[in-house]
Chains A and B, each alone.
Chain A
Amino acid sequence: MDYSRFVRLRKPVWDGFEEQLAPGRKSRDMGYDGLEAMALRYRQVLHDHALASSRFPGTAAARRLRGLAVEGTRLLTGDRGERAGLLGFFGRSFPRAFQRQLGLTGIALGLFLFAAVWGLVLTVLRPALGLRILGPQAVNGLEEGHLWTESLVTTMPPAFASSRIATNNLTVALMAWSGGILAGLVPLYSLLLNGLMLGAVLGVTLHYSMAGALFEFISAHGPLEITLILVCAAGGLSIGRALVAAGDRPRAVALRETGRDALAVLLGCLPWFVVLGVVEAFVSPAPQIPFPLKVLLGLLLEGLFLFLAFRPVPEANR
């Protein structure tokens, strides 16, 4: 086809499509017929673009058609996704994603426990190690019968402490999750380090006969905090696995699909860190709140999270 004839015949379609793409035109105001006409024009523009780019490359018509095809594709296609709302997210998307990565959460728990036992054994056998892990100030405090955690609320107001604790824990969880993209190495490091630290701290407090005080301090916030870190790290591990062992899917597809599930898991965990920040600053160090009440609160929080996570949800079509 002659170039000028091609332009003369097809230009009304391009103009019409460009007008429909104009900013401010909303698809919901278009009606069914308008949308159908737009879909038809998009297809025609794509075909004209294919013809122009092979027969008339570099011409003004080919450049304009390429622009229209790119712009049209951006506006008419894309991830619309499931718009679930908050209830739908915690009711369906989060438990579904959590349950899909249950195996990796188990592996995360195993790694964490292994490191914790290792840390405990090390510090029990060699108490001098505890001094290096906790620092001389904390160990001096332990010798005088004080937990270093007391300074959490004596050196700063509890409100500020709660915000600091929450943002610190959120950063740990976010780094463990996002670090999965480095072949899972960051979540792996995070799990082993946190496990080792917990075991070592337990070993040191056992050595100074302060383990009871430590259990009282961590009973309200500890169980859920550890669970959340494990779940977020498992999300990171799932990203790392998709990168390293994509299976029979292309790596890009495996990463995208895993990323979506891992994000749902992460978003389901993040709000809990804010709750735990408040608990850790106001409840955990408070001497006037009895130990059994702290344990009850810890079990309640953990139970509520696990109830939401393990709720049976029908598997969505993927």
Chain B
Amino acid sequence: MADIGRESILGLDNIRLDLPVAGVGSRSLAAFLDYVVLALLVFLWVLLGAILSAVAQSSWMAALVLGGIFLLDWGYFAGSEIAMGGRTLGKKALGLRVVTAEGGTPGTGALLIRNLVRTLDILVGVVLMAIDPLSRRLGDRLAGTLVVHDRRPEMGPVLGRVPPGWGPRELAAAESFLARAGTLQDPALRREMAGRILERIRRDAPEMLAGADERDPVAAVRQALQAGEV
């Protein structure tokens, strides 16, 4: 079943691809961080301009400062997204990235378009993102883009052997337990959870427990299910 927060698109051969769409919260926080960076850049630019004007004594310096502020104001977001593959510093900090509506890498044009509309999105963007299941603001709609969580593919433990009759729920529970066993703080809880899984293995495939030391249930589960893991 598709999550409401995910864009289901049909990729190659009509295969459904769920994009991990970023919500209004993380996007607003990223934008806030970017505006802090932008304010800092403008401050530094004005400071540099003031120092240079004092040295050069030219009215062109003031013209340059004004032009620079305009460029930073209108170009910071688009420039960073073009230079960093759909990310600004704020998006990078929060692990977000701009992609096309099909999940691909957006071109320069799309990144420019979505950021030229930013001034209007300051007024209406947050509300639009909040009511849209894909969290698109005006710029995203015009450019055909989405902002997604930029996660590297996960590398969790994968079961090497599966007791007959186990469905995806049992598989996911066992894999999730093996992934988290090392980080569970309460040893009693860890033993209890491992005990329950061992019980299911004993019922469905007792031969898988041959040679397992059941005094340490976690090790026994690991040995039973991960033996022969590729």
On A, residues with C-beta under 8 Å from B are 2-4, 7-8, 11, 18, 42-43, 46-47, 49-50, 53, 55-71, 73-81, 156-160, 162-164, 166-167, 170-171, 174-175, 177-179, 181-182, 186, 239, 252, 255-256, 259-260, 263, 266-267
Also in contact, A58 and B169, with CB within 8 A (given A159-B63, A256-B142):
yes
* 12 cross-chain CB contacts under 8 A: A46-B11, A50-B15, A56-B168, A71-B152, A78-B99, A79-B107, A163-B66, A167-B66, A178-B117, A181-B142, A255-B142, A263-B113
Inter-chain CA distance A170–B30, complex, in Å, is 27
Whether B168 lies near A69 (C-beta < 8 A) is no
Q: Which of B11, B151, B156, B162 contacts A69 (CB 8 A)?
A: B11
Inter-chain CA distance A102–B113, complex, in Å, is 21
Whether A157 lies near B59 (C-beta < 8 A) is yes
Whether B59 lies near A67 (C-beta < 8 A) is no
Whether B168 lies near A57 (C-beta < 8 A) is yes
CB contacts (< 8 Å) of B142 on chain A: these are: 181, 239, 255-256, 259
Whether A4 lies near B162 (C-beta < 8 A) is yes
Whether B159 lies near A3 (C-beta < 8 A) is yes
Inter-chain CA distance A156–B148, complex, in Å, is 47
Interface residues of B in 80-99 (CB under 8 A from A): 97, 99
CB contacts (< 8 Å) of A57 on chain B: these are: 168, 172
Chain A binding surface, main DSSP class: helix
Interface status of B25 (Cβ within 8 A of chain A): no
On B, residues with C-beta under 8 Å from A are 11-13, 15-20, 58-60, 62-64, 66-67, 70, 74, 97, 99-110, 112-113, 116-117, 119-120, 138-139, 141-144, 148, 151-162, 166, 168-169, 171-172, 175, 179, 228, 230
Max chain A C-beta neighbours (<10 A), residue from B74, B142, B151:
B142
Max chain B C-beta neighbours (<10 A), residue from A11, A64, A166, A167:
A167
CB contacts (< 8 Å) of B171 on chain A: these are: 3, 56, 58-59
A74 to chain B, nearest CB (A): 5
CB contacts (< 8 Å) of B11 on chain A: these are: 46, 69, 73
Whether B119 lies near A67 (C-beta < 8 A) is no
Inter-chain CA distance A186–B74, complex, in Å, is 18
B81 to chain A, nearest CB (A): 13
Whether B104 lies near A79 (C-beta < 8 A) is yes
CB contacts (< 8 Å) of B104 on chain A: these are: 73-74, 76-79
B104 to chain A, nearest CB (A): 3
Inter-chain CA distance A21–B101, complex, in Å, is 21
Q: Which of A2, A43, A61, A156 contacts B13 (CB 8 A)?
A: A43
A271 to chain B, nearest CB (A): 13
CB contacts (< 8 Å) of B60 on chain A: these are: 159
Inter-chain CA distance A75–B148, complex, in Å, is 14
CB contacts (< 8 Å) of B109 on chain A: these are: 79, 81, 260, 263
CB contacts (< 8 Å) of B101 on chain A: these are: 252
Also in contact, A58 and B107, with CB within 8 A (given A8-B230, A67-B153):
no
6 closest cross-chain pairs (CB), A and B:
A67-B153, A78-B104, A79-B107, A78-B105, A157-B59, A163-B63
Whether B62 lies near A163 (C-beta < 8 A) is yes
A100 to chain B, nearest CB (A): 15
Max chain B C-beta neighbours (<10 A), residue from A62, A164, A259:
A259
CB contacts (< 8 Å) of B16 on chain A: these are: 50, 53
CB contacts (< 8 Å) of A69 on chain B: these are: 11, 15, 17
Whether B175 lies near A174 (C-beta < 8 A) is no
Whether B154 lies near A64 (C-beta < 8 A) is yes
Whether A160 lies near B63 (C-beta < 8 A) is yes
CB contacts (< 8 Å) of B143 on chain A: these are: 256, 259
Q: Which of B59, B106, B116 contacts A160 (CB 8 A)?
A: B59
CB contacts (< 8 Å) of A11 on chain B: these are: 158, 230
